Amino acid sequence: MSDGRSRTNDPDRRQRIVTATLDVIAEHGVAGTTHRRIASAAGVPLGSVTYYFTTLDVLLTAAFTDLARQSSDAFQARLTQAENRVDAREAIVDIIAGSVWAKPRTLLLSYELYAYAARHPSVSSVMQGWMNASRAALERHFDPLTARALDALVEGIGIHNSIDPHPLDRAAIADIVHRISNDDDGPRATGRDG
CB 134 within 8 A of CB 142: no
Predicted local confidence at residue 10, as pLDDT: 80
Phi, psi values for residue 99, rounded to 5°: -95, 5
Please report the sign of the dihedral spanned by the C-alpha atoms of residue 184, residue 186, residue 192, residue 194: positive
Predicted local confidence at residue 3, as pLDDT: 47
Amino acid at the residue 160: H
Q: How far apart are CA 131 and CA 152, in angstroms?
A: 9
Q: Which domains does the chain possess?
A: 1-54 (1.10.10.60), 56-184 (1.10.357.10)
Question: CA 131, 137, 140 angle in degrees (round to 5)?
Answer: 135
Predicted local confidence at residue 92, as pLDDT: 96
Predicted local confidence at residue 186, as pLDDT: 40
Predicted local confidence at residue 183, as pLDDT: 63
Predicted local confidence at residue 155, as pLDDT: 87
66: CB partners within 8 A, 6+ apart: 18, 19, 22
Please classify residue 99 by burial: count the beta carbons closer than 10 Å to its beta carbon, then call 0-12 exposed, 13-18 middle and 19+ buried: exposed
Q: How far apart are CA 149 and CA 153, in angstroms?
A: 6
Task: State the distance between the two ends of the chain, measured CA to CA, in whole angstroms.
Answer: 62
Q: What is the mean pLDDT of each run of 10 residues along the chain (194 residues)?
A: 50 95 97 97 96 95 93 91 95 87 82 90 88 94 96 90 90 96 55 42
CA neighbours closer than 13 Å in the CB half-sphere of residue 11: 1
